[in-house]
Amino acid sequence: MKDKVIIITGAGSGIGRATALLAGSAGAKVIVSDVNQEGGKATADEITQNGGTATFIHCNVADKQEVKDLFAQTLGLYERLDYLVNNAGVGGEFNPTHLYSDETYEKVVAVNQNGVFYCLKESLRILHEQEQGGSIVNVSSVAGIGGAPRMSAYAASKHAVIGLTKTAAQEYGKYNIRVNAVCPTVIETPMTAGLLEGDPKMVEGTKYLIPMRRFGQPEEVAKTIMWLCSDESSFINGQELRVDGGMKA
Ligand SMILES: NC(=O)c1ccc[n+]([C@@H]2O[C@H](COP(=O)([O-])OP(=O)(O)OC[C@H]3O[C@@H](n4cnc5c(N)ncnc54)[C@H](O)[C@@H]3O)[C@@H](O)[C@H]2O)c1
């Protein structure tokens, strides 16, 4: 990781934040990106205060031009890129498909699917031109490998992330550019906090579906992401790696 340049989207909170902190402590040059300025800056500040190197760059991944600017600014700073963690995502609403609003569906797909595509495309262009390989990790979900009742937009967008991952892995493997996905189950982050708070029955019911009988911590996903970025996983390509305590085994 030392001196490697890594972009992490949605790094102002949860899994992205934990991944950024880990990358920073491993000596990487971390581009902390988020649409949320306050959260993103706080992550970058924490890395710097711990002696690491980090820069916050504002980016809404659903906006093509902002994504282009994110990658251009990164090249402006470091003249190279090694890793991308496509982590930014939103949950959407909870409704059966016939009641699911078009607006939310389009918003979820814009961030979780189109945003991943825009960032993937920019990073692959750069890594391909550099001719030195690289690694990309896309954050999907267990909702990307199976149904997710009342979350049709989320499930659709996370399945799309797996499709993009596998396709890019097969297209760019010959250039030593690896593309993998992680598929977490429920992880205790701000995204799930609102969902689970005040509903102990739902918490217990969901935990029962997980053989390890607990939810995951953002650091557990972050460690998996860092491993997939690093050369420690040098022959792993095109995977949809579950981080789910055995839920989908
Ligand atoms: N927490 C879980 O249980 C869980 C499970 C499986 C997958 N995931 C996925 O992990 C990723 C991170 O989720 P989290 O739980 O850490 O959530 P989180 O809400 O804590 O963090 C998500 C971050 O993404 C940012 N973001 C949202 N929309 C954005 C946009 N358009 N452009 C840039 N940044 C944007 C938010 O500002 C926030 O900082 C998401 O892709 C999510 O779908 C989460």
Phi, psi of 96 (to 5 degrees): -60, 155
Given this model, what pLDDT does residue 196 score? 77
The pLDDT score that the predictor gives to residue 198 is 75
What is the atom index within ligand 1 of the atom nearest the CA of 18? 16
Residue 249 lies in a domain: no
147 located within any domain: yes
Domain limits for position 230: 5-243
Distance CA 55, CA 31 (A): 5
- How many structural domains does the chain have? 1
Nearest CA to ligand 1 atom 16: 14
Q: Does residue 248 lie within any of the structural domains?
A: no
C-beta of residue 135 within 8 angstroms of C-beta of residue 96: no
**100, 118, 154, 172: the active-site residue:** 154
Q: Which residue ranges of the chain lie beneath pLDDT 70?
A: none
Q: End-to-end CA distance of the chain: give it in Å, rounded.
A: 31
pLDDT at 234: 98
The response to whether residue 37 sits with its C-beta less than 6 Å from ligand 1 reads no
pLDDT for the residue numbered 223: 98
Distances from the Cα of 132 to the Cα of 2, 10, 57, 158, 214, angstroms: 16, 26, 24, 29, 40
- What's residue 106's pLDDT? 98
Active site residue 154: yes
**With a threshold of 0.85, does the pTM exceed it?**
yes
Q: Average per-residue pLDDT in the chain? A: 97
- Greatest Cα-to-Cα distance within the chain, rounded to the nearest angstrom: 52
Is 97 part of a structural domain of the chain? Answer: yes
- Answer whether residue 70 is part of any domain: yes
**CATH code (residue 17):** 3.40.50.720
Centre of ligand 1 from the C-alpha of residue 174, in Å: 31
